[in-house]
Amino acid sequence: MHTNDIIREYKPLRITSPAFESNHPIPSKYTCEGKDINPPLDIDGIPEKSHSLALIVDDPDAPGKTWVHWVVWNIPITHHIKENSIPGEQGVNDFGRIAWGGPCPPSGTHRYFFKVYALDTLLPLSSTSTKKELEQAMGEHILAFGELVGLYNKKVV
């Protein structure tokens, strides 16, 4: 089951960031050309029955496959994810790290999808879990979904 097929049935979350607007450039501070820290996110519309949040950040414009930059689950219910934070349990990204990996496209402007899920449970995943394992574990537990898209084009090539 593909997560995008499930989420259409659920309540929308509103995801914004004080650092950048939707479909606008992500400041270099949050990328491989800056401090490489996660940007802050604001989340509105979380259903009352939510027990946790999950977050996936990925780049569908990467050569060869969608590149995963961050995988986080069991985030306590909050309306603000702070910059340079570890808001929940992290999994393995496509850099092979259990951490945020900021935008660092090899060429051109890429889109970065910050996808937030409100869940009706906590997830029993290990720190070696990947995006695919997180999507499978979320399955029927998604109550709401929202995303914010940021853009980035590396300045130094």
Per-residue pLDDT of the chain (157 residues; tens, 9 = 90+): 444 544 456 789 999 999 999 999 999 999 999 999 999 999 999 999 999 999 999 999 999 999 999 999 999 999 999 999 999 999 999 999 999 999 999 999 999 999 999 999 999 999 999 999 999 999 999 999 999 999 999 886 5
The Cα 138–Cα 37 span in angstroms is 26
Burial class of residue 147 in the structure, from the number of CB atoms within 10 Å of its CB (0-12 exposed, 13-18 middle, 19+ buried): middle
The Cα 28–Cα 50 span in angstroms is 33
Three-class SS of residue 151?
Answer: strand
Q: Tell me the residue ranges of DSSP E strands in the chain.
A: 11-12, 14-16, 24-25, 41-44, 52-59, 67-75, 80-81, 89-90, 109-119, 142-153
**For residue 155, what pLDDT is reported?**
83
Please tell me the class of the 3-153 domain.
Answer: alpha beta
Q: Which two tokens stand for residue 116?
A: 């937030």
Amino acid (one-letter) located at 2: H
How do beta strands 109-119 and 67-75 pair? unpaired
> Nearest Cα to 72, choosing from 47, 46, 36, 97?
97
* DSSP-assigned letters across all residues of 25-50: EPPGGGSTTTT--PPPEEEE---TT-
**For residue 157, what pLDDT is reported?**
56
pTM (two decimals): 0.93
Burial class of residue 43 in the structure, from the number of CB atoms within 10 Å of its CB (0-12 exposed, 13-18 middle, 19+ buried): buried
Q: What do you get for the CA distance between the two ends of the chain, in Å?
A: 38
Mean pLDDT of all residues belonging to the chain: 94
